[in-house]
Amino acid sequence: MNYISFIILDLNNALIELTGVLAGFPLAFNNSLLIAMKALITCIPTALSMSASEYLFTKSEIDITVKLLFKDSIYK
């Protein structure tokens, strides 16, 4: 339940990107296999980008929490 907002955000971003790809490629190419292959090639970097950004966000959030806990322990 903690990650549901991230999942919704990532699905929304991926849906928008994939919709743009599927709307643009049929205008440029006539081969449906080529369009499907390009859509798949677009989905993989999108998924990697989303997971990398989520990892960095979570890592920075943990680093901030650790720094705050360290400062609190010094001040007490």
* Alpha-carbon distances, residue 9 vs 14, 39, 71, 74 (angstroms): 9, 20, 33, 37
pLDDT score, position 23: 85
For the chain, the structural domain boundaries read 4-75
pLDDT score, position 74: 66
Per-residue pLDDT band for 15 (boundaries 50, 70, 90) equals confident
pLDDT score, position 73: 63
pLDDT tens figures, 18-44: 888 888 888 888 888 888 888 888 888
Distance, in Å, from the CA atom of 44 to the CA atom of 59, rounded to the nearest integer, reads 22
Q: How far apart are the first and last CA of the chain?
A: 34
